[in-house]
Structure 1
Amino acid sequence: MPTTTDPQFLAGVNALWQGIVDDNPQEAMPFFFPEAAYLQVKSIPNPSSDYKNRLIGFYTLDVHAAHRLLGAGAKDAKLVGVTVPAQAAQWIPPGGEQNKVSYYRVYGARLTYTEGGRTKSFGLFSLISWRGQWYVVHLGPNPRPKPVGTVYQARG
């Protein structure tokens, strides 16, 4: 089971945050599920195309949407942290979620930040594990009817 205290996890969270602040999805990629892992995990036709077009496409749109949520205060917003409800993590066996190998999946993670003296947060729709690390696989909700950037469960 991945932890949230691992330096690699914390670096990934910081990369996601910086990508959101800078409106630069490429900066946020260290916290996104790796393509090489996706190709090994998924049992679907053309997983490479799905990864690049659907997953990265939505992640890019969602990073831009999160930046818009921060608005003019983006550069002054400060990351507080990410909570991952480990008790809600589920072991997904082969055959579940169109996968060839097992992994942990968790819903309910939240990124918390301060902006203008107020504490705010939004959800990370789902994280999955790979080699003992959590990665975002869906920043916004999945599935969704059309390709628009979405901030999941914004609060504050």
Structure 2
Amino acid sequence: MNTNRLTRSRRHIGTAIIGLLTLGTLAACGSGGSQGSGTTSAPDSTETTATTAPPTTSTTVDPGTLPQTDQKPTADDPAFTARMNVLADAIRNNSPQTAISTFFPVEAYKQTKKNTNPAADWNNRLIASFREDVSAANKKLGPDAASAVFQGVTVPNTATWVKPGEEYNVGPYWRVLNSTMNFTVDGRAVAIPLNSMISWRGQWYVVHLGTIR
């Protein structure tokens, strides 16, 4: 009798333990399911692309490629003054090549003069003479030419409008003769003749620094 009671008691205890274990397993599963159903949202990220504008470029247009105008040049124009300073520096240092920008542009000459090959005439005659004239002007300043002080250019008020056909030209221009570049060197004044300038688009340019030839 006691043995039967002990057996039944053990069965009850075993059943209770199994029940507890089952409840624990279900609870664990429920907890795991809850965690598994949660969703994790990745934070929004916005990618910003910096756009760099392309660098700007400045283009210098050769004035000789543009059409002529009837604007009369003036001797106090800042651009003309700057060119004369360049020419004066070339004379002081006997460096004609540095002053080519002060000379009448070759592209303008091609539009202006009646010649089978204006570019060749510009280079072989006019520029060749210009180089000789710059060197001659340097010698006129003397051995201390490099220390000469440029005092400016005197342009007479005698400019003439040259019409096509008057000077072997197919295009018109203003022309002025007998200007003077003024220097002082070693306490003395030296005048360098600037024999002929003609205009292009309202600006004076050298065509004959020395004798016209």
Distance 1:75 1:22 in 2: 6
Q: Which 10-residue stretch deviates more, 53-62 or 24-33?
A: 24-33
- Alignment length (residue pairs): 142
Please list every run of 5 or more consecutive structure 2 residues that lacks an aligned counterpart in the other structure.
Answer: 1-71
Task: Show the counterpart of 1:126.
Answer: 196
Task: Show the counterpart of 1:149.
Answer: none
Q: Tell me how far 1:71 sits from its aligned partner.
A: 2.3
Q: Does 1:21 align with 2:64?
A: no
Match of 1:5 among 58, 76, 87: 76
Q: Does 1:70 align with 2:138?
A: no
Q: Which has the higher strand share?
A: 1
Task: Show the counterpart of 1:90.
Answer: 160
Cα deviation, 1:108-147, whole Å, max 9, x if unaligned, reads 100111011111202111000000000110111112xxxx
Match of 1:37 among 98, 103, 108: 108
Task: Show the counterpart of 1:135.
Answer: 205
Task: Show the counterpart of 2:16.
Answer: none
Match of 1:115 among 179, 185, 189: 185
* TM-score w.r.t. length of structure 1: 0.88
Task: Show the counterpart of 2:15.
Answer: none
Q: Does 1:52 align with 2:52?
A: no
1:5 aligned partner, one-letter code: D
Asked if the contact 2:141/2:190 (under 8 Å) is kept, the reply is no
2:208 aligned partner, one-letter code: H
Superposition RMSD in Å: 0.9
Distance 2:78 2:176 in 1: 20
Please list every run of 5 or more consecutive structure 1 residues that lacks an aligned counterpart in the other structure.
Answer: 144-156
Q: Tell me how far 1:44 sits from its aligned partner.
A: 1.2
Runs of 4+ in 1 over 4 A off after TM superposition: none
Distance 1:111 1:133 in 2: 17
Larger Rg, first or second structure (1 or 2): 2
1:129 aligned partner, one-letter code: S
How high is the sequence identity, in percent, across the aligned residues? 46
